[in-house]
């Protein structure tokens, strides 16, 4: 046990989110593999790190958001069964690779490494009976993991602010879903895309939330200027605290020029067996229509080539692990120096908030979970300058903070809203706003029977799903754009059909059955959540 009083704190925060991608109406959809890849490369590896730390008596502290769409997918029996099959194909392919590379020593070594990895992933998957939320919850109960919520479907809240009902629904449905999942209310929220606008804190307070994450400049440009910058939270006028992202610790990981994931020893993400193997050989493991795709089996390291994918050296997990340990030590050393410097200037213990997308660790940066494992072990044994901390615990131990009015911001390109509102995606917002106005009208009605109640609740689900910031984000990045467009249009079309049928009194029970089976998120949603207006909920009305 540590006995020396630390000078300050580091709060490591991972944002685990994927859009709701579930297609029971089709046998195969490539986008469902976003979830399968994240399970294999991020979520199960993180659980294995947590298990190892707990086993070895290391009282680690880490915060994660598990968004409602991700939680819903991880607990969905259909997706669990499809992941079981997906993992089975990976195991089968690695066995073939071992057999076919008897005389290619390094490739055989890597194939055996992957087979061992997939075997351990299978063991963890079986340990939790395919429900990884059970795994994460055990660390919530042990107070090693603090779990935050996010927007119900990761809706971009500043672009909804003209409709308080829509913002409130994103927050309230998420908090209710968290309570149903974990048996307790959430303490904090990762605002989708860290996007904040002035006044949002009033709804967060009404929902019972104690803190939220904001990008650094949202605090640095607050009024009055925060005395301690981003190294202490600030209170909003509602009493909800805001923690700002630390630029220095973030850039050490995120930066394309100086970030750890770009080291030449690490695994190259963009060279995959699915694209490089003989076509007839790899065909059973790619898309059913014969198109190639990533398999997750990658044999090369980044190397020192400038964009030349044909000149990559073979990857070696042993040396990559050594590099991850080196980088963990460097990250720890830099935090020691940073916190020692800050502690000399502050009248309270500084807190360095280091938030990242969870999928960076393992999926994009294959060695990321190893880095985290080494970081927790090194900070526990090799230093006494700082402690790892949960944000709620920091607030509890430091209840007096400066009161500020925050600046509108996000963690996107240029720090505001441009990435989610630009020439590539601006067309979606008139349709989303029109649907929101219709949903507000529907929320003031009382159903005549169970079928009408189901229709109203499904309308709320469809609008929430259409509002996901992921669709606008994908349109802007230019990847998988047809799918993002299809999802936006499909949810809006389903919503509008429900609305029109409801107005005409001709609800189609078969249609409702089919979309309830497809878009089955939030089974306990109550459409009346859209009655919210200001600080009170509106009364009920009658259909005209």
Q: Is 215 annotated as a binding residue?
A: no
Residue 234 has pLDDT above 90, yes or no: yes
Q: Place 86 in a pLDDT band, splitting at 50, 70 and 90.
A: very high
pLDDT digits (tens, 9 = 90+) for 444-465: 999 999 999 999 999 999 999 9
Nearest to 396 by CA among 166, 211, 164: 211
Residue 538 has pLDDT above 80, yes or no: no
Q: Please provide the average confidence, as pLDDT, over all residues in the chain.
A: 94
CATH T-level fold of 427-530 = immunoglobulin/albumin-binding domain-like (1.20.1430)
Mean pLDDT of 161-173: 97
Nearest to 146 by CA among 395, 330, 383, 402: 395
What pLDDT does residue 308 have?
73
Residue 53 has pLDDT above 70, yes or no: yes
Mean pLDDT of 424-435: 97
What pLDDT does residue 480 have?
94
What pLDDT does residue 307 have?
63
Active site residue 357: yes
Class of domain 11-149+186-403: alpha beta
Q: Is 227 annotated as a binding residue?
A: no
Residue 108 has pLDDT above 80, yes or no: yes
Residue 542 has pLDDT above 50, yes or no: no
CA 209 – CA 186 distance, rounded (Å):
7
Q: Is 245 annotated as a binding residue?
A: yes
Contacts of 293 (CB under 8 A, 6+ apart): 30, 33, 274, 286, 287
215 phi/psi in degrees, rounded to 5? -70, 155
Q: Where are the domains of the chain?
A: 11-149+186-403, 427-530
Nearest to 70 by CA among 170, 150, 140: 150
Residues in the chain: 544
pLDDT digits (tens, 9 = 90+) for 281-324: 999 999 999 999 999 999 999 998 666 777 899 999 999 999 99
Mean pLDDT of 52-66: 98
CA 511 – CA 492 distance, rounded (Å):
15
Q: pLDDT above 70 covers what percent of the chain?
A: 96
DSSP class of 41: I
Q: Where are the alpha helices (DSSP H) in 207-344?
A: 216-220, 247-254, 273-276, 279-282, 317-343
CB 20 within 8 A of CB 69: yes
What pLDDT does residue 36 have?
98
Q: Which one is catalytic: 313, 322, 357, 516?
A: 357
Q: Which one is catalytic: 33, 97, 176, 193?
A: 193
Q: Is 539 annotated as a binding residue?
A: no
């Amino acid at each position: 046990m540590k006995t020396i009083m630390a000078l300050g704190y580091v709060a490591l925060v991972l944002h685990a989110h994927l859009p709701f991608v579930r297609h029971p109406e089709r046998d195969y959809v490539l986008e469902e593999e976003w979830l399968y890849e994240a399970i294999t490369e991020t979520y199960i590896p993180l659980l294995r790190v947590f298990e190892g730390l707990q086993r070895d008596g290391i009282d680690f502290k880490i915060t994660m958001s598990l968004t409602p769409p991700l939680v819903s997918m991880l607990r969905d029996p259909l997706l669990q069964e499809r992941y079981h099959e997906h993992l089975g194909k990976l195991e089968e392919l690695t066995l073939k690779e071992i057999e076919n590379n008897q005389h290619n020593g390094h490739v055989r070594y890597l194939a055996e490494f992957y087979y061992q990895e997939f075997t351990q992933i299978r063991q963890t998957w079986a340990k939790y009976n395919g429900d990884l939320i059970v795994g994460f919850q055990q660390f919530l109960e042990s107070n090693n993991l603090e779990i935050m919520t996010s927007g119900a479907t990761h809706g971009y809240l500043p672009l909804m602010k003209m409709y308080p009902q829509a913002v409130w629904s994103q927050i309230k449905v998420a908090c209710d879903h968290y309570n149903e999942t974990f048996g307790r209310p959430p303490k904090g929220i990762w605002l989708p895309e860290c996007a904040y606008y002035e006044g949002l804190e009033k709804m967060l307070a009404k929902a019972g939330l104690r803190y939220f994450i904001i990008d650094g400049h949202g605090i640095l440009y607050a009024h009055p200027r925060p005395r301690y910058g981003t190294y202490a939270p600030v209170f909003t006028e509602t009493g909800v605290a805001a923690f700002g992202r630390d630029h220095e610790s973030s850039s050490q990981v995120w930066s394309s020029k100086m970030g750890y994931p770009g080291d030449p020893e690490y695994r190259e993400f963009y060279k995959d067996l699915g694209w490089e193997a003989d076509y007839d050989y790899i065909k059973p493991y790619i898309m059913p229509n014969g198109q190639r795709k990533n398999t997750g089996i990658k044999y090369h390291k980044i190397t020192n080539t400038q964009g030349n994918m044909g000149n990559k050296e073979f990857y070696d997990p042993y040396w990559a692990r050594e590099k991850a340990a080196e980088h963990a030590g460097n990250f720890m050393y830099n935090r020691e120096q940073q916190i020692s410097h800050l502690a000399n200037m502050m009248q309270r213990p500084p807190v360095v908030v280091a938030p990242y997308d969870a999928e960076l660790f393992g999926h994009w940066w294959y060695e990321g979970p190893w880095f985290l494992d080494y970081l927790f072990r090194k900070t526990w044994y090799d230093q006494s300058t700082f402690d790892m901390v949960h944000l709620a615990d920091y607030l509890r131990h430091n209840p007096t903070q400066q009161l500020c009015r925050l600046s509108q911001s996000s963690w996107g390109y240029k720090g505001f809203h441009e990435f989610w509102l630009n020439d590539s995606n601006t067309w979606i917002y008139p349709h989303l706003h029109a649907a929101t106005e219709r949903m507000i009208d529907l929320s003031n009605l009382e159903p005549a029977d169970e079928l009408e109640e189901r229709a109203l609740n499904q309308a709320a689900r469809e609008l929430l799903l259409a509002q996901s910031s992921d669709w606008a984000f994908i349109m802007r990045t230019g990847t998988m754009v047809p799918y993002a467009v299809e999802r936006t249009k499909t949810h809006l079309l389903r919503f509008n059909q429900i609305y029109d049928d409801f107005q005409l009194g001709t609800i189609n029970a078969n249609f409702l059955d089919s979309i309830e089976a497809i878009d089955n998120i939030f089974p306990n949603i109550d459409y009346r959540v859209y009655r919210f207006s200001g600080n009170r909920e509106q009364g009920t009305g009658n259909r005209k």
